[in-house]
């Protein structure tokens, strides 16, 4: 499990970067924004967050890897 601040910072960064790319590069980047939002929504219901698993396996400080 990771601290919520790490997940929120990464998700916020992904949203801002994808919005900037959607504005300046291609509107197709807005699909990435939608993906991040959908992932946040599903994790609020299921309590399963793929980003937490990835960060845990990478050994990020404060995150523990768990297997199911």
67 within some domain: no
Domain count of the fold of the chain: 1
66 within some domain: no
Between the alpha carbon of residue 42 and those of residues 4, 34, 46, 51, the distances in Å are 15, 12, 6, 12
Q: Is the pTM of this model over 0.85?
A: no
Region 5-21 average pLDDT? 94
10 within some domain: yes
DSSP the chain: ---HHHHHHHHHHHHHHHHHHHHHT-GGGHHHHHHHHHHHHHHHHH---HHHHHHHHHT-TT------
51 within some domain: yes
The pLDDT tens digits of the residues spanning 22-49 come to: 999 999 999 999 999 999 999 999 988 8
52 within some domain: yes
64 within some domain: no
Q: Give the domain extent around 40.
A: 4-58
pLDDT for the residue 18 = 97
54 within some domain: yes
Q: Vertex 67, ends 63 and 68: CA angle to 5°?
A: 135
């Amino acid at each position: 499990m990771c601290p919520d601040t790490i997940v929120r910072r990464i998700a916020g960064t992904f949203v801002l970067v994808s919005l900037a790319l959607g504005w300046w590069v291609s509107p197709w980047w807005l699909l990435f924004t939608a993906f991040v939002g959908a992932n946040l929504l599903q994790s609020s219901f299921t309590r399963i967050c793929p980003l937490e698993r990835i960060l845990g396996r990478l050994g990020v400080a404060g995150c523990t890897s768990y297997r199911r």
